[in-house]
């Protein structure tokens, strides 16, 4: 889910890449030291930086400059099927737990039409998963484990299953927030080249990828130059950019590994009309 702070961070990253195209270990495009950050600058720190010849670039979302573009919710997306790292291999009346342990993931055995599901834990091994499955089955019939192998000698039917977890998302609203990118310097010949480079690059950057991998739209709105504090050694230029981005809701969904009959319709009807519910 993206919010205004995620957009600020993405803008900071984009601007830092403009000012330091070869990385911050190399000189900036003008050779001057440049600090790029989210939020409004601290006045004491700002004056100290400018006195030392360090340019500041702040990224700030001014209040009351957000508008809702679309408040309707989209449908839930179909989650990408998770990649299950565990395997359960059946041979006769034994099941071998294989693959690699990872979470979240469920290991399940359906034995004689009854489901036994184990939620894999971070500290599990293949052997401990086998032991947990054997322990669950042994409540109803003999089941043992040796290493990663589960043996159920009296079982008439065994179906091993592995289920992972996927994430579905939906867009809950879309909004546009205006951001003020302010270049602060101690003279115009330090401010202007950096401001021009940032404005030129951002004006040609239509899309902005956010931390959740959603894509925002970037659009130039206006700019303003302020030299009213030049006697104090502060030269400023504001670049106003509108960023349109979405807010998402996410839900974790587990693959179905088994169904069980657990709803009672009364003694006389249960035998005729069993009702199934899902077990993940």
Identify the pLDDT of residue 69: 94
- The answer on 204 and 152 residing in a single domain is no
Identify the pLDDT of residue 275: 44
148, containing H or E segment: none
Q: Give the pLDDT band of residue 277 (cuts 50, 70, 90).
A: very low
Q: Are 81 and 167 in contact (CB under 8 A)?
A: no
Identify the pLDDT of residue 272: 53
- The answer on 142 and 47 residing in a single domain is no
Q: Express each pLDDT in 139-191 by its tens digit.
A: 999 999 999 999 999 999 999 999 988 888 899 999 999 999 999 999 999 99
- Quote the number of domains for the chain: 2
- Does residue 141 sit within a domain? yes
Domain of residue 108: give its range.
Answer: 86-167+253-279
Identify the pLDDT of residue 72: 87
- Does residue 77 sit within a domain? no
Residue for token digits 């159920």? 152
Does the structure show a pLDDT above 70 at 58?
yes
What rounded mean pLDDT belongs to the chain? 90
Q: Express each pLDDT in 66-124 by its tens digit.
A: 999 998 889 988 777 788 899 999 999 999 999 999 988 999 999 998 999 999 999 99
Identify the pLDDT of residue 201: 96
Identify the pLDDT of residue 265: 53
């Amino acid at each position: 889910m993206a919010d205004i702070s995620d957009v600020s961070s993405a803008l900071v990253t984009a601007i830092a890449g403009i000012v330091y195209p070869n990385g911050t270990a190399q000189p900036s495009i003008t050779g001057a030291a440049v600090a790029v950050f989210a939020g409004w600058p601290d006045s004491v720190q700002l004056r100290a930086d400018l006195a030392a010849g360090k340019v500041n670039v702040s990224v700030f979302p001014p209040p009351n400059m957000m508008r809702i573009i679309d408040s309707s919710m989209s449908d839930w997306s179909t989650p990408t099927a998770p990649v299950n790292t565990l395997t359960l291999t059946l041979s006769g009346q034994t099941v071998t737990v294989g693959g690699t342990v990872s979470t979240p993931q469920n290991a399940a055995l359906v034995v004689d039409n009854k489901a036994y599901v184990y939620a894999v834990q971070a500290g599990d091994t293949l052997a401990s998963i086998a032991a947990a499955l054997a322990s669950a089955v042994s409540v109803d019939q003999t089941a043992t484990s040796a290493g990663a192998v589960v043996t159920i000698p009296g079982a008439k039917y065994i179906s091993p299953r592995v289920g992972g977890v996927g994430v579905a998302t939906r867009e809950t609203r879309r909004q546009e927030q205006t951001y003020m990118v302010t270049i602060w310097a101690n003279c115009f010949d330090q401010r202007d080249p950096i401001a021009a480079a940032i404005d030129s690059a951002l004006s040609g950057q239509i899309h902005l990828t956010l931390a959740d991998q959603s894509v925002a739209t970037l659009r130039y709105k206006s700019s303003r130059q302020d030299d009213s504090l030049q006697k104090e050694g502060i030269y400023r230029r504001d670049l106003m950019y509108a960023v349109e981005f979405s807010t998402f809701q996410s839900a974790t969904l587990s693959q179905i590994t088994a169904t069980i009959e657990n709803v009672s319709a009364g003694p006389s009807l249960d035998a005729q009309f069993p009702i199934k519910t899902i077990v993940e």
